[in-house]
Amino acid sequence: MYQHMSPDLCRRFPPHSEAIRLYGSVCDLRTHKLPGSPGLSKSMFDLTSSSQRFIQRYDSSSSVPSSCSSRKNSQGSNRSLDTITLSGDEKEFGRLNVKLFYNSAVEQIWITVLQCKDLSWPSSYGDTPTISVKGILTLPKPVHFKSSAKEGSNVIEFMETFVFAIKLQSLQTVRLVFKIQTQTPRKKTIGECSLSLRTLSTQEMDYSLDITPPSKISVCHAELELGTCFQAVNSRIQLQILEAQYLPSSSAPLTLSFFVKVAMFSSGDLIYKKKTRLLKASNGRVKWGETMIFPLIQTEKEIIFLIKLYSRSSVRRKHFVGQIWISEDSNNIDAVNQWKETVTNPEKVVIKWHKLNPS
C-alpha cells in the first residue's frame, strides 16, 4: 500500500478543509455535516450527488455495458425494472457500485466502494446483519483490502477509497474481485462480483456490478482470446488460439506452463482434436498465436467447438483451468455472438475475449 495525497487532491481540498480524512490507503468519503464545507461536485469524489448521475452498468463477468430500463409506477415515481422482485433462477442478488481511477503521475489505482443496493442475504441472518466488502486484485501476489462493516439495508453506503501504488501495465492484466460478506451474526461470503481492469485508464469510471451467489467451486478468472474464420471457399473453419490472461499462479517456486486443447464436434460426434504447444506464463499471461484448421464435413451450423485450458506444474501432472463452448447453443452470449458473426460473414476473422467457466 502507498500513502499519498496527489497534487490535484491537495489543490481541491486545502489543508484547513475537514471534508475528507485519509487513513492509511483508505479515503473516507462520507459527508461530514460541517457548516461551510466545500462542495465536492467537480472532482472524482463527487459522491454526495444523486445516484442517477451518469452511472454505467456493467455485467460482473464480462464487463460489457448493459442497459438499465425504468418505468413509472402508479404513484408516478420512477422504479428500475432491475428492482422488481423475481423468483427462482431469475432472482437478483443486488448490485455493487464502485468507482475506479488511475493516477498516472504517481502510478496509483484509486478504488472507491460506493454503495451496495438491493442486497439479498439468508433469512437466518435476520433483518439487519452487518455487511462489509472485501476486494482482491488478482495479481501474482494478490492485493487484499476490506471496507468497514455497515448495517444491512436496501442501500448500504460505504463511500471508502483504497489507494495502491501499482503500475498500470500490471493492473491491465488482472481482475478486480469483490466479495460481499456478513460479519454478524457470523462471518460468511453471501455474494461476489468482478471486473476486468483491461480498460483501466486515467479517466474516472463508475461501474454497477451484478452480485451473484458465491461459487461452491473454485472461481476461474482466466480469459482466452480466440479468433474464428469461416473459409467457405475451402469449406473449413480456421480457429486461432491467441492469448490467455488472468491465469492462476502457483504456490511453488516454479512458474506454471499452460496449453489449450480443442475438440470439434459435428452432430454430437467428436471429429477432430488438437492442442497448442506448452508455454510458460509471464505476469499471468500466455501468448500462443497459433492457428488451427478444421475441415467441414457437414453444414457449419452443426459444428461445436469445446476449448479447454490446462496448466502443468510438472512433466507428469496437468490441471484443468476452465473451458468455453463456441457454438450457436453455447451458454456464453459472447461465444454465441462470435459464432453467429463468423458463419454469416465468410472469410472474416472474428476475434473476442472469453471468460472461461470452471465446468
- pLDDT tens digits for 189-207? 888 898 888 889 899 999 9
Query: What pLDDT does residue 258 have?
Result: 93
- Measured distance CA(250)–CA(257) in Å, rounded: 10
Q: What is the pLDDT of residue 247?
A: 85
What is the pLDDT confidence band of residue 60, given thresholds at 50, 70 and 90?
Answer: very low
For residue 45, pLDDT beyond 80: no
Q: What is the pTM of this model?
A: 0.47
Q: Is the peptide bond before 185 cis (omega within 30 degrees of 0)?
A: yes
Q: Which residues, in sequence order, are bridge partners of residue 40? A: none
Lowest-confidence pick of 36-40, 93-97, 210-214, 262-266: 36-40
Is the model's pLDDT at 29 over the cut of 60? no
Residue, of 40 and 334, whose pLDDT is higher: 334
> CA distances (Å), 237 to each of 90, 150, 284, 348, in order?
36, 54, 29, 11
Grade residue 147 by pLDDT with cuts at 50, 70 and 90.
Answer: very high
d(CA 329, CA 351): 19
Residues 6+ apart with CB under 8 A from 34: 18, 19
Segment 230-258 shows an average pLDDT of 84
Q: What pLDDT, on a 0 to 100 scale, did the predictor assign at position 318?
A: 81
pLDDT band (50, 70, 90) for residue 299: low
The answer to whether the CB of 223 falls within 8 A of the CB of 357 is no
What is the model's pLDDT at position 166?
92
Q: Tell me, what's the pLDDT at 220?
A: 65
For residue 198, what pLDDT is reported? 82
What is the rounded average pLDDT for all residues in the chain? 76
pLDDT of residue 359: 62
Cα angle 29, 32, 33; round to 5: 155
Sign of CA dihedral 246, 252, 257, 262: negative
Q: Comparing C-alpha atoms, which of 334, 77, 356 is closest to residue 222? A: 356
Q: Please tell me the predicted confidence (pLDDT) of residue 80.
A: 38
Q: Which domains does the chain have, with CATH numbers?
A: 94-211 (2.60.40.150), 223-355 (2.60.40.150)
Average pLDDT over residues 315-341: 85
The better pLDDT of the pair 310, 54 is held by 310
Dist. CA 237–CA 331, nearest whole Å: 21
Q: CA-CA distance, 201 to 219, in Å (whole number)?
A: 26
Residue that wins the pLDDT comparison between 252 and 355: 355
Give CA–CA dist 181/284, Å, rounded.
27
- Average pLDDT of 172-194? 86
pLDDT in tens, 213-230: 876 545 567 899 999 999
How far, in Å, CA of 344 to CA of 279, rounded?
34
54 vs 150, more confident? 150
- Name the percent of the chain lying above pLDDT 70: 69
Q: What is the pLDDT of residue 256?
A: 83
Q: What is the pLDDT of residues 251-298, one digit of tens each?
A: 555 678 999 999 998 877 888 999 999 999 888 889 999 999 999 876
Q: Does pLDDT of 134 surpass 60?
A: yes
Residues 114-137: what's their mean pLDDT?
A: 88
pLDDT value at residue 13: 44
342 near 336, Cβ under 8 Å?
Answer: no
Share of the chain above pLDDT 90, in %: 36
